[in-house]
Structure 1
Amino acid sequence: MGRIIQRNQAAPCHMQWRNRAIATIEADFNRSADTHLIRVDLPEFDGITLYLKDESSHPTGSLKHRLARSLFLFAICNGKIGPETTIVEASSGSTAVSEAYFARMLNLPFVAVMPRTTSREKIAAIEFYGGRPHLVDDPKSVYDAARQVAEETTGYYIDQFTYAERATDWRGNNNIADSIFCQMQHEEHPNPRWIVAGAGTGGTSATLGRYIRYKKLDTRLCVADPEGSVFHQHFQDRNITEIEACKSMIEGIGRPRVEPSFIPEVVDCMVAVPDAASLAAQRLISDVLGRACGGSTGTNIWACALLISDMVRRGESGSVVTLLCDHGDRYRSTYFNDDWVKSNGFDIEPYLQKLRGFFYAGQLIEE
């Protein structure tokens, strides 16, 4: 005869707490409107329009709000988080800010393991939501440090770099891809020629690329990657999976190792972007929009300028969509600080001149 084996009564996630936690997160989602899609006309390039999906309008101010919500729901439904679980994450800042928000909502302790170079504005935001920053000197050590902190606190390492691509329903359910294409329905070119995104975990590009294929669309996906990152090197040569260090100062994107959530097979092309070009494009698009944008948005914009220039040469028309990843206020002490830019050896003026020519005079940008 068989026998019933009961769940261990000490298991952290019991039904009552789990149901209340999921309902709390879902209620927060229902209170939040979808993010805006901003149209940027390019009058010098007839038939081509640029759009920015403004992820900075999330409650925690960045694209990572979507990811944090998905990671929490994924972990709760998998029985990994309970009413007394300490949540631990390895992050360059924005994901940790969003996760601290959800941890506070569920009254859970939160520890963010981050490089010591993370902007002080992001650290302050994590602390505002009740999170505890744990800073490390070597960015490559964040993974092991997060596991160690989780072990010491008997907590759970939520691990965005592994679970980003699987925690999000890429077929739809109001993911970022579904949102973009719904908002584009009434535009002149509803199916973008290109969607451009960066890669930190790889989760966003995986969602976009899978959705495009699932919906049988002819849109192509470009991933904009810092020159000092491993992702674009891996895209060219699958044997390259790790580099000594990610020599980029653009927070949120670029990594020293190929993260499990990065799926190169769903990417059509990649653009390796110098940090100086990202910083210049960040400032230029901030001027165009009349609002401050973050550094990874600048990386996306430089890639868009290259792609649009190539479209013009080919005589193509259409739309290009990219992401406004987070607000520039998080970088007032760094990217928008001229002294910081100079002290780190960046000469952004040549790139600014090219971008001014592109946006205001219709001059094409060469690779």
Structure 2
Amino acid sequence: MTVDRCAWVRDAIRLLEADANRNADTHLHVFPLPAEWGIDLYLKDESVHPTGSLKHRLARSLILYGLVNGRIDEATTLVEASSGSTAVSEAYFARMLGLDFVTVIPRGTSREKIELIQFYGGRCHVVDDPATMYDEAQRLADEAGGHYLDQFTFAERATDWRGNNNIAESVFEQLAAERHPVPSWIVVGAGTGGTSATFGRYVRYRRHPTRIAVVDPENSAYTAAWRTGRLDHTTGVPSRIEGIGRPRVEPSFVPGVIDEVLPIPDAASLAAIRLLKDRTLHWAGGSTGTNLVGAFRLIARMIRAGEHGSVVTLICDGGARYARTYYDDAWVAEQGFDLAPHRERMERFLSTGEWS
């Protein structure tokens, strides 16, 4: 590495750290539960990042990982396989560093997502078959002499579970003055698997008794893979809850640090985000609904067992991106979703503490 190139990399890392320092840590909201339950539910609001989602942390970590490993310099084209929030955040950081960014997306990706990626200067490369996205991204990176960020492989290792933009460390610091500072459960979804790996490793490293639950939408491979140990399990069907669930088990999924995987119906996830908006005014995406349903189920289990404590989950992104889908009654009806029985179950739980 030349002296000039070393100077560029050092400045690039400074810019990424400055971005982290400018943005105060994300809020930890309290979801209202009956006081007599003796259980507190917290929502870590990742939607307030500059690019509006949990993936802001991941994108920064992936690019830092490339920089410190000598894979990115001032002339590197960054490439990803993503049509969603990860690509939006990576485009943001690529523009900050003056780097070209291209993401491979499947045909049919929503216009809203494409416009967000393009807003930050990213380019979208369309493929007809979503299963070819990974290979196509690697091909584009090879042809450009660039770097394939590869969120599905590097998510679990790019984020240091002991520090460096660690969401787990942030949660525990924010809980320090609460009545139950060490949560009984942390509930997260799995897209890449990086978030569950970070939380799972951190609680073991810090010797906390906290358990990690992964909530999994329909069509995802993670539930069966975790239960059977078959990490080659595939479904061949994409998730309808954006950001989580995968048709295959991704390399960043670390089953050994997970205590439970809870399958969640997609209609329940969509009912939950509407309940969340009505009860707290927080407008969130579908994966947040999946988290919330899983948290409710675990809290009901704690109540049955006579346990007190706290549960933490995430607001993964904001609801504005889904105004024409998850929050649109006509779209919901077209998909064949019936939200009513799931909403009734959650309302009954919040009144009685029982999950039928």
TM-score range, shorter chain: over 0.9
Residue deviations 1:89-138 (CA, integer Å, cap 9, x gap): 01240110100000000111111112334333222111110111223333
SS at match of 1:172: coil
Residue deviations 1:56-79 (CA, integer Å, cap 9, x gap): 011111001111111111101111
1:142 aligns with 2:133: yes
Aligned to 1:264: 255
1:352 aligns with 2:343: yes
CA contact (8 A) 1:279 1:335 kept: yes
Aligned to 1:64: 55
1:214 aligns with 2:205: yes
| Most deviating of 25-34 and 207-216 | 25-34
| Most deviating of 181-190 and 233-242 | 233-242
Aligned to 1:362: 352
CA contact (8 A) 2:57 2:165 kept: no
Aligned to 1:275: 266
Superposition deviation, residue 152 in structure 1: 3.0
SS at match of 2:37: coil
Q: Which of residues 192, 195, 201 is equivalent to 2:186?
A: 195
Return the alpha-carbon distance in structure 2 between the equivalents of residues 248 and 62 of structure 1: 18
Aligned to 1:317: 308
Q: Map of 1:62-211 to 2, 5 A cutoff?
A: 62-211=53-202
CA contact (8 A) 1:119 1:330 kept: no
Q: Percent identity?
A: 58
Residue deviations 1:186-235 (CA, integer Å, cap 9, x gap): 11111011000011111110000000000000111000111210011110
CA contact (8 A) 2:76 2:100 kept: yes
Aligned to 2:245: 254
SS at match of 1:14: helix
Return the alpha-carbon distance in structure 2 between the equivalents of residues 73 and 264 of structure 1: 25
1:302 aligns with 2:293: yes
CA contact (8 A) 1:67 1:164 kept: yes
Q: TM-score, normalised by structure 1?
A: 0.93
Return the alpha-carbon distance in structure 1 between the equivalents of residues 136 and 293 of structure 2: 34
- The 1:287–1:230 alpha-carbon spacing in structure 2 relative to 1, beyond 3 Å, is same
Return the alpha-carbon distance in structure 2 between the equivalents of residues 318 and 247 of structure 1: 35
Matched residue type, 1:139 = P
Superposition deviation, residue 240 in structure 1: 4.6
CA contact (8 A) 1:222 1:270 kept: yes
Unaligned runs of 5+ in 2: none
Q: Which of residues 35, 39, 57 is equivalent to 2:26?
A: 35
Aligned to 2:329: 338
Return the alpha-carbon distance in structure 1 between the equivalents of residues 335 and 123 of structure 2: 28
| Most deviating of 201-210 and 118-127 | 118-127
Return the alpha-carbon distance in structure 2 between the equivalents of residues 72 and 287 of structure 1: 37
SS at match of 1:319: strand
SS at match of 1:135: strand
Q: TM-score, normalised by structure 2?
A: 0.96
Superposition deviation, residue 257 in structure 1: 1.3
Superposition deviation, residue 153 in structure 1: 2.6
Matched residue type, 1:343 = E
Aligned to 1:55: 46
CA contact (8 A) 1:172 1:211 kept: no
CA RMSD of aligned residues (A): 1.6
- The 1:119–1:188 alpha-carbon spacing in structure 2 relative to 1, beyond 3 Å, is farther
Matched residue type, 1:311 = M
Aligned to 1:4: none
CA contact (8 A) 1:112 1:132 kept: yes
Work out the number of aligned pairs and report it: 356
SS at match of 1:227: coil
